Structure 1
Amino acid sequence: MTDWNNKRPGIAENVSALGIGKAIYAAPDGNKEAARLLIAADGFHFKPTDFDDLILPSLSFESTKGTKYDLSFDDDGALLINGIKYTAPTNQDDETIKGNKTYEGQTRLSGGLQLLSPNGTIFNANVDDDGKLTIEKEAKNDSTNG
């Protein structure tokens, strides 16, 4: 008897059978009594082993407006959308980021920098066009500003 659960059976030349009647069944060993149902009126009857050698280079989706999108991965495992590496957006308004972070490379801040002292005092850091850095205590000091 064929073990369908652990391994997909090989096809035996001049023995294997694919039957079509009220349903579609497969009998790789030729034994119709032990054949496995594949498709019937109640749907598909596939097992994980049926997809052991399935390789999909990409998946294509279509939006409700008809725009097509291809999803795939590069050799490093990065998600590609239409061949372009997906970068998660990080520009949400009023975002709070918690935890310890390490940044490599240049970090550019526009709009100013506020620092919070251990007791909650807010300080504004500013740099002028000559590169002079100044730190000033926030005039209206409440910890809900930053």
Structure 2
Amino acid sequence: MVNWNNERPILEEKVSALGIGKAIYAAPDGDKNNARLLLAADGFHFRQSDFSDFEFNNIVITSSVGEKYNISFGVDGQLLINGLPYTAPTNQSDETIAGHKEFTGVAKLSGGLQLVSPSGLIFNIQVDDTGNLKANNIDNEVEVQDG
């Protein structure tokens, strides 16, 4: 008798049977009395072992507009889409961060700093090589010195 739960039995030529009647059944060892039900009126009767030796080199998924995407894994296990490594978006472009935040350690800002006053004025903050801060109101071009 075949143990259907642990592995998918090997089909043997001229011995295995696939029966179709009121249902579809499989008997890889030729024993129709112990055959396993695969499909009946109440649905599919697949088990995990039915898929134990499936291997896919890649999966092709078609988008809603008909574009095809090839999804696979590289030799190091990295997810590839159309052969290129997938990089998760970092959401760093034009991001708004709300709420109270506390930073520990050193925070470095490259590319500039803007501060908004309570009345909504926006100031560009710059520092020179001697450590002097300079604030420029970008709305009215008002310069504020701290020295």
Q: Report sequence identity in percent.
A: 51
Q: Compute the displacement of 1:67 (Å).
A: 1.5
- Correspondence 1:54-133 to 2 at 5 A: 54-90=54-90, 91=92, 93-95=95-97, 109-112=110-113, 126=126, 132=129
Partner of 1:141: none
Classify 1:84/1:31 alpha carbon distance in 2 versus 1 (closer, same or farther; 3 Å): same
Distance 1:94 1:72 in 2: 34
Q: Compute the displacement of 1:88 (Å).
A: 0.8
> TM-score scaled to structure 2, two decimals?
0.64
Classify 1:135/1:75 alpha carbon distance in 2 versus 1 (closer, same or farther; 3 Å): farther
Distance 2:103 2:2 in 1: 54
**Equivalent residue of 2:131, what SS?**
strand
Partner of 2:29: 29
Distance 1:41 1:133 in 2: 83
User: Partner amino acid for 1:18?
Assistant: L
RMSD of aligned residue pairs (Cα, Å): 3.5
Distance 1:74 1:108 in 2: 35
Structure 2 residue 44 is matched with structure 1 residue 41:
no
Q: Is the 8 A contact 2:71 2:82 kept in 1?
A: yes
Distance 1:31 1:17 in 2: 8
Distance 1:2 1:98 in 2: 63
Q: Compute the displacement of 1:113 (Å).
A: 9.1
Distance 2:103 2:15 in 1: 63
Q: Is the 8 A contact 2:112 2:126 kept in 1?
A: no
Distance 1:64 1:30 in 2: 45
Q: Is the 8 A contact 1:126 1:133 kept in 2?
A: no
User: Partner amino acid for 2:131?
Assistant: T
Pair member with larger Rg: 2
Classify 1:113/1:52 alpha carbon distance in 2 versus 1 (closer, same or farther; 3 Å): farther
**Equivalent residue of 1:33, what SS?**
helix
Q: Compute the displacement of 1:11 (Å).
A: 2.5
How many residue pairs get aligned? The number is: 121
Q: Is the 8 A contact 1:38 1:45 kept in 2?
A: yes
Classify 1:21/1:6 alpha carbon distance in 2 versus 1 (closer, same or farther; 3 Å): same
User: Partner amino acid for 1:42?
Assistant: D
Equivalent of residue 131 in structure 2, options 125, 131, 134 = 134
